[in-house]
Amino acid sequence: MHPQSLHPHGVFSAALTPLDAELAPDHARFIAHCRYLLDEGCDAIAMLGTTGEANSFSVAERTALLEAVIAGGIKPKQLLPGTGVAAFTETIALTRHALSVGVETVVMLPPFYYKNVSDDGVYAAYSEIIQRIGDARLKIVLYHIPQMSMQPISHALIERLRKAYPSTIVGIKDSSGDFANMTAMVERFEGFSVLTGADPLLLPLLRKGGAGCITATSNLVARDLAYVFKHFRDSDEDAALKAAQARIVTARELVSRFAQMPSLKALVAARTGHAGWERLRPPLEILPAAQRTELLASAAAFAAAA
């Protein structure tokens, strides 16, 4: 099934966003990165998410980057942009813009600034967004990342949203790391795409009936993730599957040793030879020199072993 069909499935990269010297999104470098990820086997690019520093960018910056990517030859069906922000009117604007350029599936955070909000409040926000947009093409992948948003998406809320908007609420990205939560959603919600945000969980989730992943380490090991997606039914003793899963786990551990986003950016800078890849928009910071040296040394050892 195609990633843009009713039930998205596959390997989607939570793509990093390169920045120029003014700390603005570097369109040309991002387009090149998208092409690289697709060539490595990703089904689509989940741009402007947590890994992409989306909440550090304005609506204008986000819409300009999406337009640039499409103008650069990336097909709208190969994109799942993040459009959820704190103000539902801006979520509507970002989502309408995505639809206007041919993108039909978006990843949408719940409103996240106010804490301890009830399911009724979160439901009201999603409902207002969907009704005000009023476009039957729209497909929403909910975004459950409670460690960042502090706004969990409960199963009861999912059930209510699916009942009200069955052709719109098509899946969820679960970045909680809670495998039991992911498998419970697979079991409870038939025809609902459960996508893990944790790379090592792709293989076990697929075997439980999950739909795939939207992950940060895909910026480094997309080819291995794509292999796992295609061969997850193979035996655990299959040498190629075992090796791919081992590389995924090692890469995830590598970028989790220090702060994840600057680690990922440092490794992409090393791969591409473009030092500018290391830039992050404040308040995020590049790795301290000692950590960067240790990370690159560990990555070199990992690459040599692989």
Q: Cα–Cα distance between 242 and 212 in angstroms, integer?
A: 18
Active site residue 143: yes
Judge contact between 228 and 241, C-beta under 8 A. Answer: yes
How many angstroms separate the Cα of 285 from the Cα of each of 20, 48, 51, 301?
15, 18, 13, 25
Residues 6+ apart with CB under 8 A from 118: none
Positions of E strands within the chain: 10-13, 44-45, 105-108, 139-144, 169-174, 193-196, 212-215
- Tokens 């950016």 belong to 265
Grouping H, G, I as helix, E, B as strand and the rest as coil, residue 267 is helix
Catalytic site residue from 75, 89, 113, 114: 113
Q: Which of 173, 196, 217, 265 is catalytic?
A: 173
Is residue 136 classed as helix, strand or coil in its secondary structure? coil
DSSP annotation of 217 reads: T
**Rounded to an integer, what distance in angstroms lies between the CA atom of residue 225 and that of residue 303?**
16
Among residues 50, 91, 215, 250, which one is catalytic?
A: 50
Catalytic residue among 17, 63, 95, 143: 143
Q: Do 202 and 40 form a contact (C-beta atoms < 8 A)?
A: no
Cα–Cα distance, 29 to 25 (Å, whole number): 9
Closest CA to 81 of 72, 94, 64: 94
Q: Is 173 a catalytic residue?
A: yes
Q: What are phi and psi of 90, to 5 degrees?
A: -75, -35
Cα separation, 225 vs 285, whole angstroms: 28
Q: Which helix (H) or strand (E) holds 196?
A: strand 193-196
Class of residue 191 by CB neighbours under 10 A (exposed 0-12, middle 13-18, buried 19+): exposed
Catalytic residues: 50, 113, 143, 173
